[in-house]
Structure formats: structure tokens, C-alpha cells
């Protein structure tokens, strides 16, 4: 099948299972107010834009957070079982989202979470001792009960090539709502991960409206190096799409040892 770019139906799986990067529908079925990262639609006002977004301003376990002084503990093993996937991506207006077909998953201990999509934030949303990284990739997973687990990967500008990003950047949908699909071109999200996969875990929220809590975050502590121009190209398309840091509020950051 030939590659195609265009506007169409929403992505096969709504981002984060609740609300997503596209139109968030209220319980009444009406489109919620648009949100973004700047001005009156920015993060400081998310909780005011729609009743369904109140958690954004009232929640006590929000994301992202600053990572410092984590508690080293014995954690369940985290393993990745990603398959090659046909390229299907959409420009949501707030990020570029790459949707994933069924069959790829992580195991957190023995608990399975299926990979639904991944997307990008420039600069990073989480910080390490107050310092933002150049970019952060969120790989969004869901278990059978609808619980969400997000694997966060820090990305640093360097010289090491990354074929997955290279293929995606050649075909980025440039306009909001535009889709790109190519059944003949495959990518594998495994190659977006660092070789060393030490991780930190904490309970947080969706970092976008409606900011629902109860999300398991699995932050990989070693960054991936990619050519700086890749990050610059994504940033030129998306702009600054990182939510400000949220209060930890007595939550404990657990570091795998």
C-alpha cells in the first residue's frame, strides 16, 4: 500500500485512554475546550477550561516531577517485548503520536501492559535534579483493566544515528490533524530504548488534560543519544510541549537497585 498523508478519523487508540491529544469529549458528548501549552489555554489554566480537567489544578499526585534523591529498593524486573510495527502517526497539534498495533508489551514483574502509542516532548517533562533533558519520549501502555503505565525515555542531542527517528522524521505530518500511514514500512520501538534500562517508578498522573491520576510511571534513567538535528526538527514542529513540574506531595520515588 502506498504511503498516504491526510486528515481523517482519530487515531486507533485515544492517547492515555482518557481524553487523548485529540478532542476530549465530556460526559455529555460535547467537545471540551481546546488546551495547549501557551497563554490562556496553557497548563496554568487547564483546570479552568473544562469541569473534567479539574484534577489538573486540584490533584495531589500529578506529573511530571523533579527526580532527585530516589529511594533505592528491590523492584520487579521490567522487560520489553516490542514487535515491528507499520508506521501510523498523527500530528495532534500538541505532539506527534505514533500508534502501535496489538502484540507489543512490557512486563512489570509478571504484570502485562500493552503498548498503545508513543509520542514526544521537547524539552523533557521530567527533570533530573532540576535539569531538563533535550527531549522525552513517552511510550504509553495499558493493561486489560484499563490501567495506564508510561515508560519515559530521556533523549540527548549527540551524534549517534537512530533509524526509527530517521524514518519517522522523513514522513512527519506537518499540519494539525494530518495522518501518515504506510503498511510497507516497519519500525520497532525497541530501538528508542537505551541499552541499560535501569528505571525509577512512581505513581503519578497523565501530564495532559484531564490529568487523571493512578498512572504508573517507569522512567528509564539512562538517556538515548540521537543527532541534535532530529530533536530540533521535532521541536520546530511541536514547539515547547512540556508541562511544568508538579509537587511531589510526599510521594516516594523508587529506584531499581
For residue range 89-105, list pLDDT tens digits in order. Answer: 999 999 999 999 999 99
| Mean of pLDDT over the chain | 88
User: What integer pLDDT is reported at residue 34 of this predicted model?
Assistant: 85
d(CA 152, CA 146): 19
The CATH architecture assigned to 4-256 reads: Roll (3.10)
**Residues 6+ away with beta carbon under 8 Å from 68:** 128, 129, 130, 253
| Residue 12 confidence (pLDDT) above 80 | no
- The answer, yes or no, to whether residue 22 has pLDDT greater than 70, is no
Read off the pLDDT of each residue in 204-229 and give the average, rounded to a whole number: 97
Which residues are CB-contacts of 153 (< 8 A; sequence separation ≥ 6)?
Answer: 136, 137, 138, 139, 192, 193, 194, 220, 223, 224
Q: Which cell numbers hold the place of 67?
A: 527526580
Distance CA 219, CA 196 (A): 12
**pLDDT of the residue at 78:** 98
pLDDT score for 185: 87
- Domain coordinates in residue numbering, the chain: 4-256
Count of residues for the chain?
A: 257
pLDDT tens per residue, range 221-246: 999 999 999 999 999 999 999 999 99
| Residue 246 cell numbers, joined | 508538579
User: Which stretch of DSSP H or E encloses residue 230?
Assistant: helix 228-238
pTM, two decimals, is 0.89
Least confident range of 30-39, 130-139, 161-170, 211-220: 30-39
80-97: average pLDDT = 95
User: What is the tens place of the pLDDT at every residue in 154-177?
Assistant: 999 998 999 999 999 999 999 999
Q: What is the mean pLDDT of residues 14-39?
A: 49
- Which segments of the chain are extended strands (E)? 4-7, 66-67, 71-73, 78-81, 84-91, 96-99, 105-108, 111-121, 127-128, 131-132, 135-142, 148-158, 178-188, 199-205, 213-227, 254-256
Record the cell numbers describing residue 106, joined without a space: 512490557
Transcribe 132-170 into DSSP letters.
Answer: E-SEEEEEEEE-TT--EEEEEEEEEEES---HHHHHHHT
Residue 206, classed as helix, strand or coil, is coil
CA distance 134 to 84: 26
Amino acid at each position: 500500500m502506498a504511503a498516504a498523508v491526510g486528515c481523517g478519523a482519530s487515531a486507533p487508540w485515544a492517547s492515555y485512554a482518557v481524553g487523548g491529544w485529540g478532542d476530549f469529549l465530556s460526559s455529555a458528548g460535547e467537545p471540551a475546550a481546546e488546551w495547549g501549552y501557551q497563554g490562556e489555554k496553557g497548563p496554568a489554566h487547564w483546570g479552568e477550561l473544562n469541569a473534567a480537567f479539574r484534577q489538573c489544578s486540584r490533584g495531589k499526585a500529578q506529573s511530571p516531577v523533579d527526580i532527585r534523591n530516589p529511594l533505592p529498593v528491590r523492584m520487579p524486573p521490567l522487560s520489553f517485548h516490542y514487535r515491528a510495527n507499520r508506521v501510523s502517526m498523527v500530528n495532534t497539534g500538541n505532539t506527534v503520536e505514533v500508534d502501535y498495533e496489538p502484540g507489543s508489551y512490557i512486563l512489570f514483574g509478571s504484570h502485562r501492559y500493552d503498548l498503545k502509542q508513543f509520542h514526544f516532548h521537547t524539552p523533557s517533562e521530567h527533570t533530573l535534579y532540576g535539569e531538563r533533558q533535550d527531549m522525552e519520549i513517552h511510550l504509553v501502555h495499558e493493561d486489560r483493566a484499563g490501567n495506564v503505565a508510561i515508560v519515559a525515555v530521556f533523549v540527548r542531542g549527540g551524534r549517534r544515528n537512530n533509524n526509527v527517528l530517521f524514518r519517522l522524521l522523513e514522513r512527519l505530518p506537518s499540519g494539525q490533524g494530518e495522518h501518515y500511514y504506510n503498511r510497507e514500512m516497519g519500525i520497532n520501538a525497541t530501538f528508542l530504548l537505551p541499552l541499560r534500562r535501569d528505571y525509577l517508578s512512581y505513581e503519578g498522573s497523565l501530564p495532559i488534560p484531564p490529568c487523571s491520576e493512578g498512572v504508573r510511571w517507569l522512567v528509564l534513567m539512562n538517556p538515548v543519544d540521537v543527532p541534535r538535528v532530529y530533536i530540533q526538527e521535532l521541536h520546530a514542529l511541536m514547539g515547547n510541549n512540556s508541562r511544568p513540574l508538579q509537587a511531589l506531595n510526599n510521594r516516594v520515588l523508587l529506584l531499581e537497585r
